[in-house]
Structure 1
Amino acid sequence: MSIFDTLSAYGVVPVIAIDDAADAIPLADALIKGGLPVAEITFRTTAARDAIAAIASERPEVQIGAGTVITNAQVDDAKSAGAQFCLSPGIDVEVLAHAASVGMPFAPGIMTPTELQAALKMGCKMVKFFPAKPAGGPNMLKNIASPYVHTGIGFNPTGGVNMDNLADWLALPEVRAVGGTWIATRADIAAGNWDKIATNAAAAVARVRQIRAAA
């Protein structure tokens, strides 16, 4: 399976901003405990690369990716740290080409059919629909995705997704996995609320299972 197939199996990818790389292993352990050993560590903080490297080295069972990757240098940093995939809030064909050249699976951010076609042209297998709720929510994504179903492209809606609307997103067959910003918040990580994060992860896993069983 590709890494994006693996993410699809979980249905939710925790989206994480971490300010201290020393918190990376306790965070990974909390996600493992909650049955959700996957994370997108965003390059919004200076600790991101070191946090990815720590998890990749010490907790290899965690599927670790880099988010908010917007430059070629960040692609290289993510790869050298051990990230298995990259995501971005927008689309930059130069960065996509560089990621392809170094063998890094990349899901760019899209919000329009034009951007989606650019991603398809670059060979992308999954794209981030961002910002998901402000961009029109599940109904907007359904209409954007409809003409492209035959391509097999998958979507990772992120931004405004939560436990209350998770079922609305996963009802769309094109949605492979949502971005879960609520699972391990910046504040909870900084406070060391590992039990809360584990509980959030477990609840998300159970909800995805429930939704998919009812489909």
Structure 2
Amino acid sequence: MRKAVPSLIIAGLLVSGGVVSCGTSSESPAPETSVSASAEASLPADQMDKLVPADARTITDPADPKATLVLFTDYQCPYCAKMDTLIEQAKADYGDQVRIVVRNYPLPKHQNAEPSARAVEAAAEQGALEQMAAKVFEHQQDWKSASNVDEIFAGYAEELGLDMDQFTADYNSDTIKDRVARDLKDAQDLQVKGTPTLYLDGQTLQLETGDYSEIQEPLDEALSK
């Protein structure tokens, strides 16, 4: 039996009658745009490397995955924080069958989205991607407009017991900066409309209500094939 998502979590996703996302436009003062309700075609084969590069970060990576779920996320987006809970539920339910990939889409309009992505990436170098993601999402209000984000993220790393010399070096490294920049460019090239955005086996998932079933049912269908 699959675990049920707590009703309070689902209720938290029901914003203005449906799921909303952080849009890409910097011109509109409102950061939210409705997620597309129409089905989108699968990505062509020649774009799959942009969706899932060989060195993509994974939350689950079974030896013989039956499906691949890709999340484009922005750590400053409040709706990505809510989606993170559903992704963790999917990990618990499908982690032995489904590869779950996390890509960065730090929206340029978000002041500290890029450094927060670097903080998660730096933690991932020490096997703590999910732990750091949980920290930055939980404390989003504390750092989203802060000028001392480097210190704040270092504090989270210390709380997680990470090697601080390595974390600082990775956080400031060209390798991590380039990884985040590549993810951003891939998202833009793929014309990802906002965050969070999910792809299942190359096709965009429709997210209209925020119910976990919108992830669960497509996964069940993919695994039944």
Larger RCO (CA within 8 A; separation ≥ 6) = 2
TM-score after normalising by structure 2: 0.31
**Structure label with greater radius of gyration:** 2
